[in-house]
Structure 1
Amino acid sequence: MTEEKEEVKTFKELGICEQLLEACETLGWKNPTKIQVEALPHALEGKDMIGLAQTGSGKTGAFALPILQALLDSPQAFFACVLSPTRELAIQIAEQFEALGSGIGVRCAVLVGGVDMVQQAIALAKRPHIVVGTPGRLLDHLSNTKGFSLRPLKYLVLDEADRLLNEDFEKSIDEILNAIPRERRTYLFSATMTKKVKKLQRACLRNPVKIEAASKYSTVDTLKQQYRFVPAKYKDCYLVYILTVMAESTTMVFTRTCDSTQLLSLILRNLGLRAIPISGQMSQSKRLGALNKFKARECNILICTDVASRGLDIPAVDMVINYDIPSSSKDYIHRVGRTARAGRSGVAISLVNQYELEWYLQIEKLIGKKLPEFPAQEEEVLLLLERATEAKRISQMKIRESGGKRRRKAGGDDGEEEIERYLGNKNGKKSKKLKR
């Protein structure tokens, strides 16, 4: 059985129809990924699925292709709904559907927060085939948008299902499940399996096929992972050192809080590094503006919270730095999965201070290996201490000043005018305009 699967080389052999084969070719998808090889035959047979795969392994194609093929056989509005935990991931999934379905006239609607509901209601009135959204905004439309219903739905996909089942989304998911038909195909996709995913499996899947294209919690072989124990007071200095040594790399730096993204991006810019922040406190247009600048390499350092750790496919990421160690070790898997995607190599470096040791040890336990130490001479690193300290002082002062201005204006949504000016595009822009 395994040998047969290994012999499969093309989407055609997996049962994908001619129109979609052309779309795959146009997108440069030469051969299916492991999760696609495993998932597509079952999906095309009409089975429910739970797909566990490393992030960056082609999960979107694994559920988009069978849905589009089924849509071709029986075209109808509101054929499929895909739920995602973040706005950016929802937009990215919709773009993938549109790219794959461009030759067959697929219409998508994206329902996410931070965007005008009236515009979204107009898109829904045009009766799209695919609805992609975050749970809260989808529920808003189900409750308030006249004439919108998901009663005709044939397919439901929960992408990053483990995250969708935390307390932030669980109530919304339950209400959505009550508003859609029981007779449907359901796909759960995630890089990690949790008890809550198992609970949802019992609630809404019928004899699902479980596809595991990776070990339970793992990172790809092409990812070089390292750590460095650093005193908390020197952490900024080490970050600046690594970014200076790896100056040509495209890097994502993960922090624990939205405030840290603002502060670190200012510190780095004061030192002449091209950094830009993205966090949940920024408006949707600014988040997309920041992502687009990063993708276009106008800025090569993206400072982010875990809002950017799930599902975002930014192909050129060379390095991930964990400035703050995540308290949930599963979040580490998602963070470092931003690099070394689709067979490329990448580097992940975790800066661990004295207060984060326990969290770091949990990560090593989860991935099942001891990581090597990032090599650096501390004397060399500390040559940057004076400059880094001064940059931090200036940055904190700017944030305090802009905070005062913001209170006087009673406005501003990402809390930092300096960053707003740096983004340079108050309205933001999508990397690809979605068709109506």
Structure 2
Amino acid sequence: MSAGAVQAPRAGKLLISTRRTELNQFSRETCGNWEQPPLVSRGWKHRQSRGDYFNINSQREQRPWPETDGTFHSLSLDSRLVSSLEALSISVPTWIQKRAIPALLQGRNVLCASETGSGKTLVYLLPMVHKLLSCKSEASSDPQGLILVPSRELGGQVTSVAKKICAPLNISVRFVGGGHGNKAIRGQFFGNSPDILVATPGALSKALKLDKVSFSSLHYVVLDEADTLFDDTFCDLIEGILMHTQIASQASDMQGLQRKAQLAIIGATFPRGIGKILSKVTDLVSIDIIKSKKLHFLMPHIQQLFKKLKTLDKTHELLQLLKKHVSEKPDIGMLVFCNNASTVNWLGYILDDHNIKHIRLHGQMPADMRSGIFESFQKGDYDVLICTDIASRGLDSLRVDTVVNYDFPPTLEDYLHRAGRVGRVGSESKGIVVSFVTHAWDVELVQKIETAARKRSSLPGLKTSIKDPINFCDIIKEEHKI
């Protein structure tokens, strides 16, 4: 270098790293909105790309939640409820709790969409319990709070959290799950009705048909993991259940003898098809949208590795990862995601042959077999869980530091949910997501992910508003943004 030459400053740590160093991108390098960045995955539909890879490196030491101050007392919650939280060592609200809880306490219907692991269970649970405490003197033989969840596993987890909070408050909680016949449904509704009912759509639909539950006293309805509840699997059931309820369109509807129920819609990605169903039960203008500015962005604190492989090489690659994980990270959890139950079972047989201790979870298991599987994984009885997307929605996975997409997820929403199983609030490690990429349709999604990472933009094509299928275009209230 000549004496008069000026050395260009380094552009910071690497954002994108790959073996083709000319495609590396430093964290301070920028790409214009209309500029198409160079992609490692550009040629991955060609067979000669097998063995190629790239990393999206973590750019932060922890989840980038905005700092919060104050306590739950500052949110005007019932003092008895706050005392119950403090007894559980819960004292400082997360950023989404601080934004959404006041809106719900004011009697507004709310759609809350924020990243995985941000504390959304308490967002809806605390206003519900607060409301039930205020009307506890009213005699009722029917549930006053309803929480709909897409899976037995999530239902069990929500019920556990609710019971811990409600135990000292004389508020009863019960979970009703599907996978059983009518006799079992009748048995689950035997005796007094709970104050709060947590249920899966299938089980609740059966209970309604059998006339085992009434919604005449409902104060509060929650749709948790709404993007799943409104997909093709559940949407007809959800519509049928909501048609049995009376949803308020304004706060005044929640008063008096003919009061209607408040609605909370919760998710980590924005639900599709929501307007078509909800427009039948409430005025969509009544729904306040509270969403994160970083909704549908890649998590900046998680390392994400993408590997282009032949289908036949995936099993060998996974076995190498598992053996390394077991030897280097004993007692740390790993999730291995597959796209269908048959792959979960087949992969389980392979791991059995290699003496790798694991447990399996998928929706085609009988209800009795599924019961307790995720709890066993959470407790550390098993460190490897092979599963379908049934384990990607809402479940507590603090002990997990590695997610492997053995099958690449079919949608970008599914990728975000799976990746959100690591690096959660309270987790001791940032975590890594390893994705095997084999098919041409996988490559198309990976190219969108890599482009979003290089541009530091949200993932494309994900829904961010409610629209009526006919003429609900521009009458939605201005969205509340965080």
Regarding TM over 0.5, the answer is yes
Report the CA distance between 1:366 and its aligned residue: 6.1
Find the counterpart in structure 2 of residue 359 from structure 1.
Answer: 445
Q: Which one-letter code corresponds to 1:333 in the other structure?
A: L
The aligned counterpart of 1:132 is 198
Contact 1:54–1:214 (8 Å) recurs in 2: no
Pairing partner for 1:106 from 162, 165, 171: 171
Deviation at 1:289, TM superposition (A): 3.2
Change in 2 beyond 3 A, CA 1:240/1:111: same
What displacement does 1:218 show? 2.5
Deviates further, 149-158 or 340-349: 340-349
What runs of 5+ residues in structure 2 fail to find an aligned partner? 1-65, 248-259, 457-482
Distance 1:317 1:117, change over 3 A: farther
TM-aligned CA deviation for residue 222 of structure 1 = 2.7
Residue 270 of structure 1: CA displacement? 2.1
Q: Say which one has the larger Rg.
A: 2
Pair 1:259–1:99, CA change in 2 (3 A): same
What are the residue-to-residue correspondences of 1:84-99 with 2, within 5 Å?
Answer: 84-99=149-164
In structure 1, C-alpha distance between the alignment counterparts of 2:388 and 2:180, rounded to whole Å: 21
- Asked whether the 8 Å contact 2:305–2:435 carries over to 1, the reply is yes
Q: Deviations over 1:173-230 (max 9, x none)?
A: 1111111123220011111114413444544355222111352312433322111111
- Whichever residue aligns with residue 57 of structure 1, its letter is S
Alignment partner for residue 305 of structure 2, among 226, 246, 270? 226
Distance between the aligned counterparts of 1:135 and 1:160, measured in 2? 12
TM-score when normalising by structure 1 = 0.79
Instruction: State the one-letter code of the partner of 2:125.
Output: A
- Aligned match for 1:252, one of 335, 345, 355: 335
Residue 262 (structure 2) aligns with: 185
Deviations 1:130-175 (A, max 9, x none): 11111121011011134x2112111111111121111221111111
Deviation at 1:367, TM superposition (A): 6.3
Q: Which amino acid aligns with 2:203?
A: R
How much has 1:321 moved relative to structure 2? 0.5
Q: 2:322 aligns with which of 240, 243, 247?
A: 243
Query: Quick one: which amino acid aligns to residue 357 of structure 1?
Result: V
Q: Is the 8 A contact 1:121 1:145 kept in 2?
A: no
> In structure 2, do the counterparts of structure 1 residues 256 and 6 end up closer, same or farther at CA, with 3 Å as the change threshold?
closer
* CA spacing shift, 1:96–1:120, aligned 2, 3 Å: farther
AA partner of residue 36 (structure 1): Q
Q: Distance in 1 between matches of 2:177 and 2:295?
A: 30
Task: Report the Cα distance in structure 2 between the residues aligned to 1:83 and 1:43, rounded to whole angstroms.
Answer: 17
Matching of residue 297 in structure 1 with residue 383 in structure 2: no
Contact 1:294 1:300 in 2 (8 A): yes
What amino acid does structure 1 have at the position aligned with 2:200? T
Distance 1:121 1:108, change over 3 A: farther
Residues in 2 aligned to 1:120 and 1:10: alpha-carbon distance in whole angstroms:
40
Q: CA deviation at 1:359?
A: 3.1
How far apart, CA to CA, are the structure 2 residues paired with 1:7 and 1:325? 36
Q: Equivalent residue for 1:287?
A: 370
Q: Kindly report which structure 2 residues correspond to 1:150-189, keeping only aligned pairs within 5 A, or say none.
A: 150-182=215-247, 183-189=260-266
| In the alignment, structure 1 residue 346 sits paired with structure 2 residue 431 | yes
Alignment of 1:302-381 (within 5 A): 302-344=385-427, 345-355=430-440, 356-365=442-451
Greater mean deviation of Cα atoms: 343-352 or 31-40? 343-352
Higher percent of residues as helix: 1
- Tell me: CA distance 1:369–1:100, structure 2 relative to 1, closer, same or farther (3 Å): farther
Tell me the secondary structure at the aligned position of residue 179 of structure 1: coil
1:28-43 alignment runs, 5 A limit: 28-43=89-104
CA RMSD of aligned residues (A): 2.2
Query: How many aligned residue pairs are there?
Result: 366
Q: 2:378 is matched by which residue type in structure 1?
A: K
Q: 1:9 to 1:213 in 2, by over 3 A?
A: farther
Cα deviation per residue 1:339-383 (whole Å; 9 max; x = unaligned)?
11115321111111244322322444566769xxxxxxxxxxxxx
Q: Is the 8 A contact 1:153 1:184 kept in 2?
A: yes
Q: How far apart are the structure 1 equivalents of 2:81 and 2:454?
A: 39
Which deviates further from its counterpart, 352-361 or 298-307? Answer: 352-361
Question: 1:115: how far off?
Answer: 4.1
The superposition leaves residues 17-75 of structure 1 with CA deviations (integer Å, 9 ceiling, x where unpaired) of: 22211222233323111211111111111111010011111111000000001000002
* 1:137–1:367 distance in 2 versus 1, CA, 3 Å: farther
SS state at 1:314 partner: coil
Q: Which moved more, 1:131-140 or 1:25-34?
A: 25-34
Look up the match of 2:18: none
In structure 1, what residue type is equivalent to 2:384?
I
Q: 2:231, 2:272 within 8 Å by CA — same for their partners in 1?
A: no
1:48 is aligned, of 84, 109, 120, to 109
Instruction: State the one-letter code of the partner of 2:300.
Output: D
Shift of 1:116: 5.8
Structure 1 gap segments, 5+ residues each: 371-436
Q: What SS does structure 2 have at the residue aligned with 1:61? A: helix
TM-score using structure 2 length: 0.71
Structure 1 residues 367, 328: closer, same or farther in 2, change over 3 A? farther
